[in-house]
Amino acid sequence: AAVCIGSNLHFLKQLQTIHMYFGATKMGDTGAVAIGNNLQKLEKLRKTTLHFHGTNVSDYSAVAIGNSLQNFEKLQNIRLGFGETKVGDAGAVAIGNGLQDLKELQEIDLDFESTAVTTEQKNSLKKQLHKPGVHVDVR
């Protein structure tokens, strides 16, 4: 189902807000990568929520999503939930790199609870993403 959703996102080019919740499903990297790869076509996004809590996604998914984030020049608010997944430091680094140069961001909420993302990496993300006027929550 997630692959189908992801492959059809390009039809929504005018979309400014998207909230997708896949928590506690059997979603794996194939679906999450399809979503990540196709999200980049939604250049007008201002608010984004993607929750993968309790799914089987890994760094592979987080890297695809991180790579797509850098295309969102108008993004103001993002919430990414990777709690209780297989995401580790490599995925967290990709998410941080995808967000770091976005100038319109006002709020960043990243959930890496009960994952392999280390406390050091979470603290590094907070420092990397901290800018005046931007609320950053990494846990």
Q: 105-138: per-residue pLDDT in tens?
A: 999 999 999 999 999 999 999 999 999 999 999 9
First-last CA distance in the chain: 29
Q: Is residue 57 within 8 Å of 85, Cβ to Cβ?
A: yes
The pLDDT value recorded for residue 121 is 98
Owner of token pair 């009960």: 114
What sign results for the dihedral spanned by CA atoms 51, 52, 53, 59?
A: negative
Q: 44-89: per-residue pLDDT in tens?
A: 889 999 999 999 999 999 999 999 998 889 999 999 999 999 999 9
Q: Where are the alpha helices (DSSP H) in the chain?
A: 2-8, 29-39, 59-69, 89-99, 119-129
Q: 2-39: per-residue pLDDT in tens?
A: 565 656 566 677 789 989 899 888 899 998 998 888 88
Give the helix/strand (H/E) hosting 135. Answer: strand 135-138
